[in-house]
Structure 1
Amino acid sequence: MVTEFILIGLSEHPRAQAVFFGFLLMAYLISLLGNSLIITLTIADPRLHNPMYFFLCVLSSIDLIITSNTVPEVLANCLLFMPTISFYRCLVQMYVGLFLVSTECVLLAIMAYDRFAAICQPLHYMQIMSWKLCVSLVSASVALSFLITLITVLLQPTDFCGHYIINHFVCELQSFLKLACSDTRVSELFMQMSSLLILIPPFGFIVVTYGRIALAVLRIRSTWGRKKAFSTCSSHLTVVSIFYGAIMIMYLKPQQKSPSEEEKIISVMYGALTPMLNPLIYSLRNRDVKGAFWKVVSRKR
């Protein structure tokens, strides 16, 4: 009976692992500081109590848990020769990550709709994005992600015939399924179907929504206004492309027997890079957030 797994990250490439450790530590500290700051400011400043910052607060909370779920353990494992993880800790890490990443996929689409309503229907924005609708949308995304995660858990293989080496930095679902001795065809089929459901429609919706936003921005007479709007939209699309692109490469392409070193690095992009970039691009450059920050700082003096 398998009671623990051995995780193989970049242990065969010590120099690359040292560089990876430095990058991951920097990304984690920035993510921790940035997302915690956004959550604190959104709660503390009444001026940020609107739908846009409500969604940003939820996004920061998800990113904070995603990084804390895996990154500290990966950092510690970089210092060990043969890092291990218990069977049940592996399951928790894997399914918590699946639930949170699925929720964020849907949430990013909701945030794109929020920006569309704010830019294209500014006079009716608060009527369209009522608090009841905002809470309902977030609750629906959480419920859908929980349902997908629950079914994945129920379809989890139960037989492991002594295979205990996971060729990854963390417990990742595809690598985990490859170790099973029991039939995993149903699990793999559901994983492919759920990946298509949770990735393609939200990503397509985001692209179409930002396309409509771009058309609306082109109608703005002010050159400065157009430049600012395009800068914001392009930044958002960059983060979305990194997040969705990394996940699509991991879960929608034909599966190999063992993940390559490049694929393992790509998986870190949506687990560490996007949680670092989200607060920098979505919020910390925002004038209202900067104002809230200096207001909190001045209170403490």
Structure 2
Amino acid sequence: MKRANHTEVREFLFQGFSNIQEHQLTLFVVFLTLYTLTLAGNVIIVTIIRVDHHLHTPMYFFLSVLSTSETFYSLVIIPRMLSSLVGLGHSISLEGCGTQLFFFLGFAITNCLLLAIMGFDRYVAICNPLRYSIIMNWRNCAMLASFVCATGFSLSLVQAVAIFRLAFCDSLIKHFFCDVRPVLDLACAAPAINDILTLIISLLAITAPAAFLFISYVLIISTILKIASAEGRKKTFATCASHLTVVIVHYGCASIAYFKPKSENTQDQDQLISVTYTVITPLLNPVVYSLRNKEVQDALRRVMGRKSLS
């Protein structure tokens, strides 16, 4: 019977946060506030980096690319989630679900790879400062940014095509957006190749960049410890502190979400983890780089000062 009916599944329904129905309005207000802060923070960072020539450096170029990617990343998921919380947008077409999953994964993988590139930038700046301007010239920076974006969306395309070639026997997505595991759970039969492909992409998008960052920061810290003065060590490490904070939270959430055994999955846990990396993590980037980064703070003061004078 399932085999006969699977072609009729052309639309999915999101279960969303139905298990806490009485708190839907509260969640809407909280998530809308966080989303507004995320958009405002990322727009401010991109604008400040663009207009202040002191921030026209490779590190801030990659930060502006990351902020732009984070903005679109949250745009793919949160508006639809907010509409479902107020009783709208509970359904999504098969094509719409595939599109959402493709863009969500594309921006998510791009963000992971961008953080690794930013770690490499800090490694070159601290461990090989004399060659920094040669290695991290603008041509190389543009090529690296293009490469991570192309890689992110190529891997996303492979994953999305592999999933949406399957036949679906159920239409209820036990989640608030089209993520990999919740959609795969609706398939009549998911071949082992899908699980293998998901694992390979997770290793390429999470484990490989995380390992690269770990090695980079081991070398960075060993170089910092060789600096004679305590003030010099503190100042040098301060240039990495914001990036390291974002890296730990970002890769930590992604690892829990995609490497947790299926047997340990519960809907409440999955939703809590998903809220962390879809709502809170995008906000972390502008907050950390605004509150903990002196150069960004100084640039903001300069820009605001010019506006006040004009």
TM-score (norm 2): 0.88
Distance 1:54 1:98 in 2: 22
**8 Å CA contact retained: 1:38, 1:279:** yes
Shift, 1:232, TM fit? 5.1
Map 1:11-160 onto structure 2 (within 5 A).
11-15=18-22, 17-80=24-87, 83-156=90-163, 157-160=165-168
Shift, 1:214, TM fit? 1.4
**Structure 1, residues 59-100: CA drift from partner, whole Å, max 9, x if none?**
001100011111122122122288222322221111100011
Please name the residue that 2:3 is paired with.
none
Shift, 1:172, TM fit? 0.9
**Structure 1, residues 107-150: CA drift from partner, whole Å, max 9, x if none?**
11110010111122233221121112211212221222222122
Q: 1:222 to 1:258 in 2, by over 3 A?
A: closer
Unmatched segments (≥5 aa) in structure 1: none
Map 1:1-301 onto structure 2 (within 5 A).
1-15=8-22, 17-80=24-87, 83-156=90-163, 157-161=165-169, 163-231=170-238, 233-256=240-263, 259-283=266-290, 285-301=292-308
Distance 2:250 2:35 in 1: 16
Q: Structure 2: which amino acid aligns with 1:159?
A: A
Please name the residue that 2:5 is paired with.
none
Distance 2:220 2:203 in 1: 25
Q: Secondary structure at the match of 1:13?
A: helix
Distance 1:82 1:141 in 2: 32
Q: Secondary structure at the match of 1:12?
A: helix
Shift, 1:201, TM fit? 1.2
Distance 2:291 2:102 in 1: 30
Identical-residue share of aligned pairs (%): 38
Shift, 1:15, TM fit? 4.8
Point out the more displaced range, 47-56 or 289-298. Answer: 289-298
Shift, 1:32, TM fit? 0.6
Distance 1:261 1:132 in 2: 46
Distance 2:13 2:29 in 1: 22
Q: 1:22 to 1:220 in 2, by over 3 A?
A: farther
**8 Å CA contact retained: 1:11, 1:81:** no
Aligned residues: 300
**Structure 1, residues 132-190: CA drift from partner, whole Å, max 9, x if none?**
221121222122222212222332334223x1111111111111111112444322221
Shift, 1:231, TM fit? 5.0
**8 Å CA contact retained: 1:167, 1:258:** no
Q: 1:279 to 1:213 in 2, by over 3 A?
A: same
Shift, 1:258, TM fit? 6.1
Q: Secondary structure at the match of 2:92?
A: strand
Q: Secondary structure at the match of 2:19?
A: coil
Distance 1:132 1:211 in 2: 27
CA RMSD in angstroms, aligned pairs only? 2.3
- Structure with the bigger percentage of helix: 2
Shift, 1:289, TM fit? 2.2
Distance 1:20 1:207 in 2: 36
